[in-house]
Amino acid sequence: MTDTPQRIAVVGGGTMGRGIAQTALTAGREVVLCDVSEAVLDKAREAIDGGLRRLVDKGRLEADAAEAALARLSVTTRMADLADATVIV
C-alpha cells in the first residue's frame, strides 16, 4: 500500500474532465468519471480512447498500456459511485 491515491473520481465528463481522467489513467490510476449525461460519458470514453491511441501512435505509450489504461476507466451518472475514491476532482 502506498500513500499515492489509487482511485480517482472526476466529476464532469466534458473538456476538462476527460483530460484529467486520461492523465490519471496513463499514470496508472483507476478512474471513475461522473456526469449527469450518459451521452457525454459515451463521448468521453471515445475521446479518451482516441487520446490514448494518439499517444501510442506517437510512441509515448505502449499499446498494451493504452488498453490497460482504458480498462481502468469506469463511468457513472451516480454520485454514490464515487464514495470509495481516494481523491475527487
Ligand X SMILES: NC(=O)c1ccc[n+]([C@@H]2O[C@H](COP(=O)([O-])OP(=O)(O)OC[C@H]3O[C@@H](n4cnc5c(N)ncnc54)[C@H](O)[C@@H]3O)[C@@H](O)[C@H]2O)c1
For ligand X, the binding residues (CB under 6 A) are: 11-17, 34-37, 40
48 grid coordinates: 479518451
20 versus 65: smaller Cβ distance to ligand X: 20
> Shortest approach of ligand X to residue 85 CB, angstroms?
14
85 grid coordinates: 475514491
Smallest Cα–Cα separation from 51: which of 24, 74, 30? 24
Nearest position to ligand X, beta carbon: 14
Distance CA 4, CA 48 (A): 23
46 versus 57: smaller Cβ distance to ligand X: 46
